Structure 1
Amino acid sequence: MKRTIAIALVLILLLNTMGYYGVFLGLHYQNNLAMSTALNADVYDESNSITLKVAVSIPYMPDQTDFERVSGQFEHNGELYWMVKQKYAKDTLTVVCVKDTERKKIDLVLADYVKTFTDKTTDNKSSSKIAISFLKDYLPISFSIKSDTHGWASRVIHNVGQQNLIPTFAASIIHPPEQA
C-alpha cells in the first residue's frame, strides 16, 4: 500500500514538473508536421516569405529555369525560417524562406511557463542589480597570489656520477663444429 502511494506521488510530481513541457514538445512536433505538409503542398503565406539572393559562382552548374523544393530551417535574430524553394541562375542562388510565426508563439508561451518556476518577477530585475552592486562596494573581498618561483627561474639538478660500463659481449657468430 505504501509503495503504491509513493509511486503515485512520484508520478504526480513528474507530471507537475515535466507534464507541460511534454505538451510544448508535442506542440513543436505538431507545428513542424503542419509546416512541412503545407510547404510540400506549396501553400504558405506570401506576406511572411522573404527571398534571399546569394552570389555564388559554381563552375559547370547549369542555370535553372524553375524553382525546386528544398527543406531546411534556420534561425536569424530569434526568428525561425523555413526554406521553401531555391533556384540557381546567372551565378546567383535565390532561396525563398517563410517565417514560422506559430513556433515563435509556442516559444514565448514556453518562456512564460518557465518563468513561473522562479521566484523573481520581471519588475524586480533593476532593484536586484542595484542591491548587488551596492553590496559589492562595501563588502571586503580580498585575494592574493603567491608565487613558488621567482619569475621564469627554476632550479635544475644535474646528477653527475661515475659511470662504469661493464662490457658484456656475446659472440654474434656461432661457428659450426669442425668435421673430422
Structure 2
Amino acid sequence: MKRAAAILLLIIFLFNWFGYRLLSDYMQHRADTQLESQLDQHQYNEASLIEIRVPLNMPYQNISSGFERYDGEIEYKGIHYKYVKRKVANGELVLLCLPNETRMKLQNAREEFFKLVNDLQNAQENNSSPASSIKNPITEYWQEENNWRLEALTAQQHRYTGYAIVIPPSPLITTPAQPPEC
C-alpha cells in the first residue's frame, strides 16, 4: 500500500514538473498542424491577411508574378503570425501573414498556469514587503568584512631597474652594391 502511494505521489510530482509543459506543447503542435491544413486547403479569410514587405538586396532575383503558398512564422510585438503566401516583386519580398490566435491563447494559458503553480503573482504583490516566508539561513546572517587598505599600496616605494638593451649590428649592408652575376 505504501509503495502504491509513493508511486502515485511520484507520478503526480513528475506530471506537475514536466507533464503540463509536455501537454501544452502537444496541444500547441496539434493546433499548428490544424492551422497549416486549413491554410493548405485555403480555408481562411483573405481580408484578415497582413502584408509584410522586406527589401531584398540580391543581384539576380526570381521575380514572381503571383503569390505562392509558403510556410513559416514570425513573432512581432508579442503577436504570432503564420506565413500564408509570398512573392518577389520590385526588389522586395512580399509576405502575406495570418495572426495565429490559437497559438497566442495557448501560450497565454501556459504562462498564466505557470504563474499560478509557482505562486508568482503573490511574490510580485508581496515584493514590497521586506519579510518573506522562506529565508536562507546562510545569506540571512552572512556578514562580510572587507579590510582592504589602499594606502599601503600607494605609500610603498617602487624601485625600477633599468637595463641597457644592446642591439647587435645589423647583418644587412646599407650601402648599395652591384648584384651578383649569374
TM-score scaled by length of structure 2 = 0.64
**Cα distance in 1 for residues equivalent to 2:72 and 2:149:** 55
Q: Once the two structures are aligned, what percentage of the paired residues are identical?
A: 24
Aligned to 1:12: 12
**Cα distance in 2 for residues equivalent to 1:37 and 1:143:** 66
Q: Kindly provide the amino acid, as one letter, of the partner of residue 9 in structure 1.
A: L
**Cα distance in 1 for residues equivalent to 2:104 and 2:34:** 15
Give the number of equivalent residue pairs.
148
SS in 2 for 1:22: helix
Q: Kindly provide the amino acid, as one letter, of the partner of residue 34 in structure 1.
A: Q
SS in 2 for 1:97: strand
Q: 1:54-133, aligned counterparts within 5 Å? A: 54-121=54-121, 125=124, 128-129=127-128, 131-132=129-130
Q: Kindly provide the amino acid, as one letter, of the partner of residue 58 in structure 1.
A: M
Aligned to 1:30: 30
Cα displacement string for residues 126-157 of structure 1 (whole angstroms, at most 9, x for unaligned residues): 6623x45xxxxxxxx98758479948x9x9xx
In the alignment, structure 1 segments of 5+ residues that lack a partner are 133-140, 159-180
SS in 2 for 1:30: helix
Question: Cα–Cα, structure 1 residues 9 and 126, in superposed 2: closer, same or farther, change >3 Å?
Answer: closer
Question: Cα–Cα, structure 1 residues 120 and 114, in superposed 2: closer, same or farther, change >3 Å?
Answer: closer
* Post-superposition offset of 1:100: 0.3
SS in 2 for 1:116: helix
Matched, 1:46 2:30: no
**Cα distance in 1 for residues equivalent to 2:6 and 2:78:** 42
TM-score scaled by length of structure 1 = 0.65
Give RMSD over aligned pairs: 3.5
SS in 1 for 2:51: strand
**Cα distance in 2 for residues equivalent to 1:83 and 1:143:** 59
Q: Kindly provide the amino acid, as one letter, of the partner of residue 111 in structure 2.
A: A
